[in-house]
């Protein structure tokens, strides 16, 4: 029983602040959650959030297993993943631009299921190499053998990451879905908004690709 106990929790508050600061910064995950909620409503937005949280849980496992070391040791792997993530987000953005329509209209083949939103959210998160580097650079610094079970510390820190993602991105999804309801009375504004969100996703992808080039 004592083998899985944690004797000190003070350092986890600093970890939470670091995680919250990183998640609050706008990025590909946040942009995709907002796009999903604006185009598909609250359920679509929350399914995207669930996908991102699931991807975050995988990041924790990968970080604990030390795969992040591989990405840091071989910069080519980092750049390849960065470009893959950028291309994926750009593709979603182009779909929004080319298929923009008033909310409530369903064009043939244009509907996106909740499972698809979940999968895209997870892939968006998993293709973010910065998360792996965060797990390599920050995560190990808070795993202290003198504070008790390393396994339980990793589990608690993983829960902190997932719950913070759920809180921040969930609030964005709910807020964006409220805006979606307000926009129902202005079809033209809805189309322009879909095109704008798609453009922002593409710009985010280009910025990410530029970072990879540099």
For residue 70, give Cα distances in angstroms to 63, 73, 131, 195: 11, 5, 14, 38
Whether 68 contacts 195, CB under 8 Å? no
Question: In this structure, how many other beta carbons lie within 10 angstroms of the beta carbon of residue 187?
Answer: 14
Rounded to whole angstroms, how far apart are CA atoms 55 and 44? 17
Q: 5: alpha, beta or left, given left = phi > 0 and alpha = psi -120 to 50?
A: beta
Give, for all 214 residues of the chain, the pLDDT tens digit. Answer: 455 567 667 777 888 888 887 788 767 788 888 888 887 888 889 999 999 999 999 888 887 776 556 666 776 766 776 677 778 778 877 877 776 554 444 343 345 788 889 998 998 888 877 777 677 667 777 777 777 777 788 888 899 999 999 999 999 998 887 777 666 666 676 677 777 777 877 887 787 677 666 6
Statement: the pTM of the whole predicted model exceeds 0.85: no
Rounded to whole angstroms, how far apart are CA atoms 21 and 86? 22
- State residue 1's pLDDT score: 45
Rounded to whole angstroms, how far apart are CA atoms 142 and 123? 27
End-to-end CA gap in the chain = 50
Rounded to whole angstroms, how far apart are CA atoms 124 and 129? 10
For residue 156, give Cα distances in angstroms to 32, 41, 148: 27, 32, 12
């Amino acid at each position: 029983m004592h083998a899985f106990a944690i004797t000190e929790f003070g350092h986890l508050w600093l970890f939470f602040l670091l995680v919250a600061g990183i998640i609050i910064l706008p990025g590909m995950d946040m942009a995709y959650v907002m796009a999903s909620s604006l185009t598909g409503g609250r359920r679509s937005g929350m399914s995207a959030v669930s996908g991102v949280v699931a991807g975050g849980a995988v990041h924790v496992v990968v970080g604990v297993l030390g795969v992040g070391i591989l990405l840091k040791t071989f910069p080519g792997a980092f750049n390849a993943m960065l470009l893959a993530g950028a291309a994926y987000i750009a593709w979603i953005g182009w779909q929004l631009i080319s298929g923009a329509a008033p909310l409530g209209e369903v064009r043939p083949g244009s509907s996106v299921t909740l499972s698809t939103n979940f999968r895209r959210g997870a892939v968006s998160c998993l293709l973010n190499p910065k998360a792996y580097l965060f797990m390599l650079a920050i995560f190990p610094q808070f795993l202290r053998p003198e504070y008790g079970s390393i396994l339980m510390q990793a589990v608690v820190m993983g829960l902190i990451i997932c719950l913070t993602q759920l809180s921040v991105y969930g609030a964005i999804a709910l807020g964006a879905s409220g805006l979606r309801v307000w926009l129902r009375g202005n079809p033209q504004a809805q189309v322009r908004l879909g095109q704008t969100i798609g453009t922002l996703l593409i710009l985010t992808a280009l910025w990410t690709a530029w970072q990879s080039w540099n």
